[in-house]
Structure 1
Amino acid sequence: MLVREVQCRSLLSRSRLADYCVNPYIGCQHACIYCYADSYTRRFTEHTEAWGEFVDVKINAPKVLEREVNIKPKGTVFLSSLTDPYQPLEKKYNLTRRLLEILLRHRYSISIQTKSTLVLRDLDLIKRFPDGEVGFTITTLNDEHRKFFEPYSSPVEERLMALNEFKGSGVKTFVFLGPILPHISDQDVDGFLREISRAGADYVYFDRLNLKPGLWMKLESRLKDNEPKMIEDWRRILSEGTDYYKSLKARISKTAGELGLNCIFCF
């Protein structure tokens, strides 16, 4: 693992996900094999290491944010779009926590999305944001599949327990089921929604797999070694997936309606 401490010139970026987006790190230790940020990150860096094998730490991020919040209009800040703000290195650097302290002091709103239960460390801060929310990305309830696709993320059951703890503390919560992994995320979508509802999620986002350049080759290589029978089905669905996603959306909507769970489809 290559870890570099780097200087950034700006931090608060305009975003379609919220008013602003903040990425305290470049790269991500969770090493999710489906991550769209892999190809995007390489467009702006010189990294040649495998995804999950490098992280640049924006060591001056708190100082930069302190300057920017004094000159930019207030709004909601999303953490994060191209990295996980609570990947393991956050235990050492505390960048995300220090950024939250600044945003709270300057009365910004926050939306956090993570695969890590380390976010519970900052519950004391997060619950003080009037409009704060925390979401967990969950693509499967099967922890063996989780280990295959997102090897260094927190176990699924622990994420659901953490979500429940935030909910119990009065923090708005959500789950992001994205990307939908054919024959994995949809194996028991009814059970998935029941577990999310039981954990206390206020709403759930759903999104399809985003095949950025080179991603299918990486996925196909991993499937060939572990789930070779899925390759043809995945290839068909990902290239001509209209009927598959239409049917899945109908199933999700029906069960979610029965559970009173608010669903938002990104496709």
Structure 2
Amino acid sequence: MGFPAKPRPYPLSGLQLAYALAINPAVVVGRRGSLLAFGAVTEPFLPETSERTYEYLSAISSELGNPIQLSTKARLGSGDAARIRSTCREVSVLVTVITQSFHKTLEPGAPSPEERYETIKNLSGEGIHVSLFLRPILPGIELSEFEEILSQSKRSGVSGVVLGSLRVTEGIIKRLKAAGYPYLDDVLKRIPRRLEGAKQITIKGQDLKRKIMELAGKLDIKVYPSACAANIEAHGLGCASCRLGPCGRVEEIPIIESKDLKGVVPRFGLRVVDLRVEKFKVFMRLEGPALAKRRFKEFVKALTKHEIIIK
């Protein structure tokens, strides 16, 4: 994917990261502000990265207070769980398990699914909001295996599950082939168009997702429509900023008025041509630079938790 193979901590200190976020014009600071996620690029609890992760959690919690979400495959003991809980009063943790039968093939060197279930148990035992992260859903895996993953996760204490289809590139297909994944043909059949280098393409997987959602329903496991939905619920918030919402506590979605938004627009060097608010949607026509419009949109979306449509 273009990232270095050897993991290394991000160079900024905790306070430097907090400052960088605070001065970012697209970021809203505070408990009801921008959602912050860690673990998309590098496992946050590797030996090389864990102390920097705790430093970031501490700085953001104490200086900014924004909602935090962690994604991990790590084996976290009871001491790790207690440390996370003491560092963050509220936090959402996603624990990834995508297969039990092929984990050695597809995730060499990563902790086993059994160790990750132990992670879920330790985190939930500390009162931390934990979700199973079943992404990507791999074609070829038997439904019985997905059911076992869901069952084990529920017994371990998950609050819900986040599902996601597989995204592929030419490089990802080559790596699946090199790893010897036996159901590669099933993956290839679901690619909707020709692959183009490093451009990610989501395979056709809605049928698989629906079947797993049915399994989760039978086990009384909540299915979150997205990772951020789990983050919203973990922090007792509400959000309707995309087509998947509203998520969380609808009564916590801010009530906004046109005059309040108009007061923010000049800060971004923009001018309002037209503005209207319809329930959880804001329609705006603005004049000004494209970059300023993008920053303004991200800022207002995080601030209001409404869907923002700008022309």
TM-score, with normalisation over the residues of structure 2? 0.59
Of 120, 123, 147, the residue aligned with 2:81 is 123
Q: For residues 121 and 66 of structure 1, do their structure 2 counterparts lie closer, same or farther at Cα, with a shift above 3 Å needed? A: farther
Q: How does 1:182-193 map to 2 (within 5 A)?
A: 182-184=139-141, 186=143, 188-193=145-150
Structure 1 distance, partners of 2:144, 2:109, is 22
Q: How does 1:1-267 map to 2 (within 5 A)?
A: 38-39=1-2, 41=3, 53-68=5-20, 71=23, 73-74=29-30, 75=33, 76-90=35-49, 94-106=51-63, 107-118=65-76, 121-128=79-86, 129-142=88-101, 145-184=102-141, 186=143, 188-223=145-180, 227=182, 230-239=183-192, 242=204, 245-265=205-225
Q: Secondary structure at the match of 2:165?
A: coil
Structure 1 distance, partners of 2:56, 2:77, is 13
Q: Deviations over 1:83-118 (max 9, x none)?
A: 111123135xx1111111112222333111101124
Amino acid at match of 1:79: F
- Cα pair 2:164 2:209 within 8 Å, conserved: no
Q: Deviations over 1:187-228 (max 9, x none)?
A: 5222222112111111111111111342212222322xx63x
**Residue matched to 2:301:** none
Structure 1 distance, partners of 2:15, 2:109, is 29
Q: Secondary structure at the match of 2:154?
A: helix
Q: List alignment gaps of at least 5 residues for structure 2.
A: 194-202, 227-243, 245-311
Q: Secondary structure at the match of 1:207?
A: strand
Structure 2 distance, partners of 1:65, 1:79, is 12
Q: Secondary structure at the match of 1:179?
A: strand
Give the number of equivalent residue pairs: 209
Give, in angstroms, the shift of residue 174 of structure 1.
0.4
Give the share of equivalent positions with the same residue, in percent: 22
**Residue matched to 1:13:** none
Structure 1 distance, partners of 2:10, 2:149, is 36
Q: Secondary structure at the match of 1:127?
A: helix
Q: Secondary structure at the match of 2:140?
A: coil
Q: Secondary structure at the match of 2:137?
A: coil
- Cα pair 1:103 1:109 within 8 Å, conserved: no
- Cα pair 2:8 2:48 within 8 Å, conserved: no
Give, in angstroms, the shift of residue 138 of structure 1.
0.7
Q: For residues 168 and 121 of structure 1, do their structure 2 counterparts lie closer, same or farther at Cα, with a shift above 3 Å needed? A: closer
Q: For residues 96 and 254 of structure 1, do their structure 2 counterparts lie closer, same or farther at Cα, with a shift above 3 Å needed? A: same
- Cα pair 1:86 1:119 within 8 Å, conserved: no
Give, in angstroms, the shift of residue 63 of structure 1.
4.2
**Residue matched to 2:294:** none
* Large movers: runs of 4+ above 6 Å: none
- Cα pair 2:124 2:157 within 8 Å, conserved: yes
Q: List alignment gaps of at least 5 residues for structure 1.
A: 1-37, 42-46, 48-52
Q: Deviations over 1:64-93 (max 9, x none)?
A: 2243355462233211221111123135xx
Which is worse superposed, 115-124 or 186-195?
115-124
Structure 2 distance, partners of 1:256, 1:86, is 28
TM-score, with normalisation over the residues of structure 1? 0.68
